[in-house]
Amino acid sequence: MSVTSSVISLFLFLSLINNFSKCCIEAPYFGAPHLFQVTPPVDHAEGPTWDSRKDILYFVDIHAGDIYSLKFLTGELDSIHLNGEVTPVIPSKTDPEILIVGVDRNVVAVEWNGKSKFYRTKLLTTVSKQFPTSRFNDGKADKQGRLWFGTMGFEDSRGVTPNQGVLYKITRENLDDPEVMVAPVNISNGLTWNYANDKFYYIDTPTRKIVEYDYDDEKGAITNGRVVFDLALYDAIKGNPDGMTIDRDDNLWIALYGGWAVIKVDPRTGHLLQVVSIPAEAVTSVMWGGPNMDLLFVTTSRTSLSQEQRLRQPLAGSVFALAGLGTSGWQVFDADIVDKI
């Protein structure tokens, strides 16, 4: 799909959503989910995050080193290029034009207006000096603006080097020595908090498990880790858990890398509630967004596909939006570790 046709598709999608909102204000929608392609494919789309201040969806193309901004109301897609593997990307609380970004093993502040090709960067810290070939993979900010960024081991055609990943907590005060929260990790991936902010959910992808911790927001501490969902118990569900978010009902939405799907899970019961098919094998992450926070944006990848597989999956690498899920999410927290560049 060309950029032009993608924008046209997005406009049709926005028109449908706007019309739907006008006619259904008093009556919730209980129909089947609707899937829309909202960007053309890139190599490895990941790390979607919604900034409600600007109605912008940010996401990255990890291996290409690109950060994208998708303007929801216009469909305009812009990007900048950084030198390194880029993920995640988190808006800053103190300045809406500053993004906090993982670049290889570095945490970098990027000043960018989301449109021009001009940007400035400032290195904030470097982690995992003991694993020089590792890199950041996923992360979010907590309610206090602290960063929870995780790494993964070196990856090549043979797979990922095990036990070289770490989940870090990064604050203004510990930039020189970020705190290790979980280690060792294989592929640090999806993480999120419940609405009461007393539970923290975390994925180490190869384990195929979602772990819940008790969470102390004042201290930024996690304790009493326990498995609340094990994908290995569901033979019909393929792939591994990747990015993750949570809805207003405290149900988890999880991208399945290699599984052609996004799944909805109740962490209180451990039950699988819903499977939503995606027209790409490698589903990488999910994030709530849109003016009403009721669209689930889904990123996908084509980086591991053969040429033959790419022909069979022409939409792989696109960002999609799921509408009509009968629930919504919450605006994710912004980073608060730097004031300006």
Predicted confidence (pLDDT) per residue in 299-319, tens digit: 999 999 999 999 999 999 999
Please determine, for residue 2, whether its predicted confidence score (pLDDT) is greater than 80: no
Report angle CA 302, 90, 163 to the nearest 5 degrees. 60
pTM, 2 dp: 0.91
Q: How many other C-beta atoms lie within 10 A of the C-beta of residue 232?
A: 9
| Nearest-angstrom CA–CA distance, 15 and 310 | 30
| Nearest-angstrom CA–CA distance, 40 and 318 | 5
Average pLDDT over residues 164-169: 98
Q: Is 163 annotated as a binding residue?
A: no
Residue 114 in 3-state DSSP?
coil
Q: Which domain holds residue 147?
A: 3-323
| Nearest-angstrom CA–CA distance, 267 and 255 | 15
Question: Which of 27-41, 127-141, 148-162, 173-187 is least confident?
Answer: 27-41
Asked whether residue 186 is assigned to any structural domain, the reply reads: yes
How many Å separate Cα 164 from the centre of its chain?
A: 21
Which amino acid, residue 212? Answer: E
| Contact predicate 205/240, CB 8 Å | yes
Q: How many other C-beta atoms lie within 10 A of the C-beta of residue 71?
A: 16
Report angle CA 66, 72, 73 to the nearest 5 degrees. 140
Q: What is the mean pLDDT of the chain?
A: 92
Please determine, for residue 335, whether its predicted confidence score (pLDDT) is greater than 60: yes
| Nearest-angstrom CA–CA distance, 268 and 289 | 24
Domain count, the chain: 1
Asked whether residue 141 is assigned to any structural domain, the reply reads: yes
Which stretches does DSSP call E strand in 53-105?
Answer: 56-61, 66-71, 77-81, 86-91, 98-103
Q: What is the per-residue pLDDT for 31?
A: 55
Q: What is the per-residue pLDDT for 156?
A: 84
Asked whether residue 339 is assigned to any structural domain, the reply reads: no
Confidence of residue 53 (pLDDT cuts 50, 70, 90): very high
| Secondary-structure percent of the chain, ordered helix, strand, coil, rounded to 5 | 10, 50, 40
Catalytic residue (one of 104, 142, 204, 242) = 242
| Contact predicate 91/139, CB 8 Å | no
Q: What is the per-residue pLDDT for 189?
A: 98
Name 138's bridge partners.
Answer: 150
Please determine, for residue 108, whether its predicted confidence score (pLDDT) is greater than 70: yes
Q: What is the per-residue pLDDT for 259?
A: 98
* Residue whose token pair is 């926005």: 14
CATH number of the domain encompassing residue 283:
2.120.10.30
Asked whether residue 234 is assigned to any structural domain, the reply reads: yes
Q: Is 155 annotated as a binding residue?
A: yes
Average pLDDT over residues 318-334: 97
Tokens in use for 54? Answer: 């600007």
How many Å separate Cα 16 from the centre of its chain?
A: 25
Asked whether residue 334 is assigned to any structural domain, the reply reads: no
Asked whether residue 256 is assigned to any structural domain, the reply reads: yes
Q: What is the pLDDT of residues 232-266, one digit of tens each?
A: 999 999 999 999 999 999 999 999 999 999 999 99
Q: Is 189 annotated as a binding residue?
A: yes
Q: Is 26 annotated as a binding residue?
A: no
Confidence of residue 157 (pLDDT cuts 50, 70, 90): confident
Asked whether residue 302 is assigned to any structural domain, the reply reads: yes
Sheet holding 209-216, edge to edge: 188-193, 199-204, 209-216, 221-230
| Nearest-angstrom CA–CA distance, 68 and 6 | 15
Residue 235 falls in the annotated catalytic set: no
Asked whether residue 243 is assigned to any structural domain, the reply reads: yes
| Contact predicate 169/182, CB 8 Å | no
